[in-house]
Amino acid sequence: MGYLKYLVFRILNAILVLLIVTFIISALFVKVAEQSNLAKMNDEMMQWDRTTGQNILRTQGQDAYEKAKAEHEQFLREKYELNLPYWQKVYNKAIRTLKLDFGTTTTPIFGTNNVSDIIKVAVPRSILLFTTATIIVIILGIFLGVRAARHAGSVFDRGLSIFALLTYSLPMWWTGMMFLLIFAFKLGWFPLSSMFDPQLTGWEHVKDVIYKLALPVITYVFVAFGGWAWTTRNIMIGTLQEDFIMAARAKGVPEHKIIYGHALRAAAPPIVTMIIFSLLGSLGGAIISELVFNYPGMGRLYWVALQQNETNLLIGLTYFFTVLYLAGVVLADMVYGFLDPRVKVGASSKM
């Protein structure tokens, strides 16, 4: 019961953090949006003056023109909330953000101006590339890390450690540029752009997606799997030196069962935490890497929002990333409790 209270406390804490972050980002971006909205209002006023305003001036006279102009200006001020005090605008924006009403963009992106719809288009694309690559990295990294831990000090272990340090130190965007130069530009094995062909359907579309994503996935796996293998190796080596492992070996338990039935299970909490944050983080994409491969995912979308000063889209993306991080923290706490009984005991004693 104490552990359940602990989880409820952590969830409430995450909700509180989300509320605070939402009001902070609303306060920051509302100030930026004021200038943008003022420019929009001035543009609409100029357009109104050239068309409707001039027509009223010719047909009804100066007094009617001034009155209609003032009414239209007031309408635009209310439309863009320029008539409200700063705190009221921040509050309204935060409430709309919490309701997932992020508003619209100035220019269409992915064929729509609705921020929620834009994010819904970008997220599956990031899942397709980065989540797929992350799953491959996790499987490969854990498998090689466990094998290196079983043969600590061997040629394989030393070679993997050196390779992991070398590849993990390489920026993914730089590696992507080198791979594009070699495998796409020089050898012509892969395309220079990862943009899908919208005219293809069925099996042809599937083949096009696999072909376009092959090089970005290979690049991500090449850079990231070594770090996973190195981390898993170090965790497993520490676990294999525990007393219960020594006792299991003394009892004659098969090595395979010791590794996968005892050691890996004991090492699971930190590894599972890495898995959770890696998978959730993959939903956010990667800005520079997506620009290198010309891939339309969440990272590139964030860059477009920055370039075009789309404050509503920036708020929506920042809110999305915040929710992902907080969900990862809560999920990690839940998983830790199931995998490590000491967490349950500690949580119960605190509550």
CA distance 181 to 167: 18
Contact 33, 104 (CB under 8 A): no
Model pTM score: 0.79
pLDDT band per the 50, 70, 90 thresholds, residue 344: low
pLDDT value at 326 more than 60: yes
Q: List the one residue out of 304, 309, 278, 306 whose CA is nearest residue 291.
A: 304
DSSP 177: H
pLDDT in tens, 231-275: 888 888 888 887 787 887 788 878 778 777 778 778 888 888 888
How far is the CA of 42 from the CAs of 50, 84, 175, 191, in angstroms? Answer: 12, 17, 46, 45
pLDDT in tens, 190-224: 887 777 766 767 787 778 888 888 889 999 999 88
The half-sphere exposure of 12 on its side-chain side, counting CA atoms within 13 A, is 6
pLDDT value at 22 more than 60: yes
pLDDT in tens, 293-308: 888 888 889 898 888 8
What ranges do the domains of the chain cover? Answer: 2-114, 117-309
Q: List the one residue out of 7, 65, 76 whose CA is nearest residue 43.
A: 76
Tell me which CATH code domain 117-309 carries: 1.10.3720.10
Share of the chain above pLDDT 90, in %: 8
Q: At 178, which amino acid appears? A: M
Cβ-proximal residues to 128 (8 Å cutoff; 6+ apart), any chain: 209, 213
At 203 the pLDDT is 81
CA distance 343 to 304: 43
pLDDT value at 347 more than 60: no
Q: Write down the mean pLDDT value for the chain.
A: 83
Contact 105, 118 (CB under 8 A): yes
CA distance 96 to 84: 16
Q: List the one residue out of 273, 306, 270 whose CA is nearest residue 287.
A: 306
* Pairing mode, strands 112-114 and 104-109: antiparallel
CA distance 253 to 245: 10
